[in-house]
Amino acid sequence: LDVSEKYYITSPTFTLINEYPGRFRLSHIDLYRIEDPLELDELGFYEIIDSNNVIAIEWADKFLDEFTSGYLDIKIKILGDQSRRITITACGQENINLINKLELKILSD
């Protein structure tokens, strides 16, 4: 993503959306306090997800129906101080293709 080290990335719990410039813009969205899909439009949510940004969404499961082109569901489980389990599930053909390419890259390294 190439986000500069000068940016301390935090959860957008109160701001709802934090954006960070880089080679790809990172849009970090927290949907925890959003109750109604109509609020998503007021946030500019649809413009963000229709962009070429990298988008990380907390509490995305509240509005999965809004992700019409698919998504990657990334879960990170803490196993210990220095250990994590990352599970990635793809929804939508473009994302399935992306995961297949990632898997091939990992296996070839």
| pLDDT at 82 (0 to 100) | 95
Whether this prediction's pTM lies above 0.85 is answered by no
Q: For the chain (length 109 residues), average pLDDT per consecutive 10?
A: 75 88 90 94 89 88 86 93 94 91 88
**If you write DSSP's letter for every residue of 61-75 in order, what string do you get?**
GGGGGG-TT-EEEEE
For the domain made up of 1-68, give the CATH fold. Answer: Rossmann fold (3.40.50)
Domain range annotation of the chain: 1-68, 70-109
| pLDDT at 86 (0 to 100) | 93
Let me know how long the chain is. 109
Residue with tokens 């709802």: 16
